[in-house]
Structure 1
Amino acid sequence: MTQRLVHRPARATHPLLPPAPRTIEPPPNLPEGKTGTPATALLPMAGVPCSCRSAARRSGSGACGTWSIWRSCAPSWAPPPVPVAFTLGARDVRAAGLAHCRRPPLPTGPVPLGSAAAPALHYPLGDGTDPAAWTALKALTEHLRTGGG
């Protein structure tokens, strides 16, 4: 038995750039003629307690409602999350029954993933902009829970 020594040079990395200063920006301006509530003036300060809480927890992020502060980017407004898809693993497909899982209460059918003998099923719910995806997700999970196997 012979052994062959292979030389692999170490990877070179560039030095990290200094972090950009973090600032809290005001919320976007309202269209002309529209007025906000007094609470909207406090929205830029919503991230301050979160950053203190995340520092206390030593976590990378903190979130209050839809305002969040991450260490790697400036605070920004993020819309509420909307589901895009749901994937059911092969073990759960087997438990609920393949025939039952292939007939979801959705306008489109599932996309099979993996082997034909034990497929996982991927159910597309939308593009992440339509809140009706929450209703579709609830209907899908109720349908899958009633599966007979």
Structure 2
Amino acid sequence: MTKKISYVVFITTFLLMLSSSFQVAYGATPSGRDQIRVHTGEAGKPGDSLFALTSRWRIDGDVTYESTGITFVSGADRPKPTTGPGVAKKLAIAMSDGMIKQYPSWRGVEAVNVPGQAEMTISNKEGFSLFKVTFRDYTNGKMTYD
């Protein structure tokens, strides 16, 4: 009788471990479901200004992660002012660089810049939910979101 109970306990434990290891795969959020598109403009302030953005995401129903990207934008009075497409490119690079400290499988968002366009998109990767993006624009540039 005790041998039969130990088999039942073993099989039950095995099935529970198997089902929990595939939890994310069955309930995964599709890639690109949560996204925000940012249209950037030139800096409104003279000189160099700071631009920062923080993204927060979570593994579906599990741990929360965040990353902050920081970049500097040159104003119109500088020898090489940063244009709208340049601002978008710098933001996308800053967001990607901010995630370097995280383990690769924890990087649940991606920032994509359309080359030559003054826009970038922050979206979730598969199995992650993007739930908050905070922009801190100290450049007083023109920005729109959709």
TM-score for the superposition, normalised by structure 1: 0.26
Look at both structures and tell me which one has the larger radius of gyration over its CA atoms: 1
Structure with greater strand share of residues: 2
TM-score for the superposition, normalised by structure 2: 0.27
Structure with the bigger RCO (C-alpha within 8 Å, sep 6+) is 2
